[in-house]
Amino acid sequence: MKNNHIFGFSVIHLILLGLLVLGLTSCEDPIDIDLQTGPTQLAVDGWITDQPGPQTIKLTKTTGYFDASQPPPALGATVIVADEDSVIREFIDVKKNGNYVWTPKNGEVFGKIGKKYLLGIRYEGQEYISISQMNPVPAIDSLVFREEKPNPFESRTGFRAEFYATDLPKQTDYYWIRSYQNGKRLDGTQNIVVSYDGSFNGSANTDGLLFIQPIRTSINPDSLYNMNDSVKVEVLSITPEAFYFFLQLSTQINNGGLFASPPANVPTNVINRDAKGPKAVGFFGVSAVSSKTVKVEKANIRAKED
């Protein structure tokens, strides 16, 4: 088991449930620990989509783990993204805060499906590059809700969202699924959802099928949605490399407990052209996005299945 989640179900919670009922106690306490800080590296956080509006690539510097919530910006870098037709777009750090931004002209969007994109960064005398591709993405057909208890221990009910989309046939697709509650992205560590042909990794046979059940409902907050919430779901096409990157990111930031995976560095696709030079961390990706925004109201609520 590579992760304490099996197909999205947390083994730890299952065990905790078991142990709770068995009257055993396990516990997690925050503790103070001294960690040695390693050398600083360039950290790239660049995700570009075909959606309207400015696109941003964030550059920061790694710091000690406990200081990393507010990392120092990497300033003074030159950042460009080129497509395979040699159209070069420059990203500028207007506010001098490490956010390098490209602003489209009226009606212009970034990227075309099927095209490859190259990120180039010149920073502190080093040149870093990274390549990604914009793959196609299926439309989201519908987004509905069912009234349920968030968990068996609660008496109140909420609304469990389920979206329907069909995997693109005759090709291997990788998706990143994001959801928003009243405009705020669900960004808990457990909210990283990626899918392979609308299913889980390794299930080579769901090509062209409706996204399978656990994926369809993987867009809910723990407490579920409330009446009148505005719920938005996005499906982003990603590269295989990005898919494995997200799996490992999810493993590493949700790691712990009895069945923890060995902690390991999350991979990067940002490469220093000088193999002996300092290495970068982070990831660069481009995605096509399909999305659906729906309000939790009567028209969208379905009867419970059982």
Partner 1 sequence: MKQFLHSFFLMMLACSAVLAQPAPDAVSASRRTNAQATVSGYIKDAANGEGLIGVSVFVKETGSGITTNSYGYYSLTLPLGTYNLVYTYVGFTKQNRTVDLTSQNVRLDIELKEEGRDLQEVTVSTKREDDNVKNIEMSVNRVEMKTIQKIPALLGEVDVIRSIQLLPGVSTVGEGATGFNVRGGNVDQNLVLLDEAPVYNSSHLFGFFSVFNPDAVKDVKLVKGGIPAVYGGRISSILDVRMKEGNSKKTTVSGGIGLIFSRLTVEQPLFKNKEGEARGSFIIAGRRSYADVLAKPFLSGDLKGSRFYFYDLTAKANYRINAKNTIYASGYLGRDVFGADFGFNWGNTTTSLRWNHVFSDKLFLNTTAFYSNYDYLLDSDLKRKDPKDFFNWKSGIVNYSLKPDFTLFLKNNTLTFGGQAIVYDFQPGIANAASGGEVRTFGLENKYALESALYIGNEQLVSKKLQLQYGLRYSLYNYIGPGEAYEFQTGVPAGQRRFPVLTTKYDRGEPIKTYGNWEPRFSAKYELNDVSSLKVSYNRLAQYIHLVSNTTASTPLDVWTPSTNNIKPQIADQIAGGYFRNLGKTGTEYEVSVELYYKWLQNQVDYIDGADLLLNKYLEGDLLNGKGRAYGAEFFVKKNKGDLTGWVSYTLAKTERFVDGINNNRWFPTRFDKRHTVNVVALYDLNKRWSFSATFAFATGTPGTFPTNGYIFQGYLVPHNAENSRNNYRIPPYHRLDLAATLQNRKKKPTQKWESNWVFSVYNSYGRKNPFSVFFRQAEDKRTVTMNGEQVQIPVAEAVRYSVFATLIPSATYNFKF
Span of 42-50, 83-91, 110-118, 122-130 interacting with partner 1 by CB under 8 A = 42-50
Q: In what order do the strands lie in the sheet with 116-123?
A: 88-91, 78-83, 116-123, 126-133, 271-272
Choosing from 136, 169, 256, 277, the residue that interacts with partner 1 (CB under 8 A) is: 256
Q: Judge whether 104 and 54 are in contact, CB under 8 Å.
A: yes
Nearer to partner 1, 76 or 114 (CB): 76
Query: What does DSSP say about strands 230-238 and 289-295: parallel, antiparallel, or unpaired?
Result: antiparallel
Span of 81-89, 109-117, 127-135, 241-249 interacting with partner 1 by CB under 8 A = 241-249
**Distance from C-alpha of 272 to C-alpha of 274, rounded to nearest angstrom:** 5
Which two three-digit tokens encode residue 9? Answer: 């179900």
Residue carrying structure tokens 């990831």:
283
Span of 75-83, 102-110, 127-135, 186-194 interacting with partner 1 by CB under 8 A = 186-194
Choosing from 92, 139, 253, 302, the residue that interacts with partner 1 (CB under 8 A) is: 253
Choosing from 226, 261, 290, 300, the residue that interacts with partner 1 (CB under 8 A) is: 261
Nearer to partner 1, 61 or 112 (CB): 61
Judged by CB under 8 A, does residue 169 bind partner 1? no
Judged by CB under 8 A, does residue 218 bind partner 1? no
Q: How many CB atoms lie within 10 A of CB 277?
A: 13
Q: How many CB atoms lie within 10 A of CB 235?
A: 26
Nearer to partner 1, 34 or 85 (CB): 34
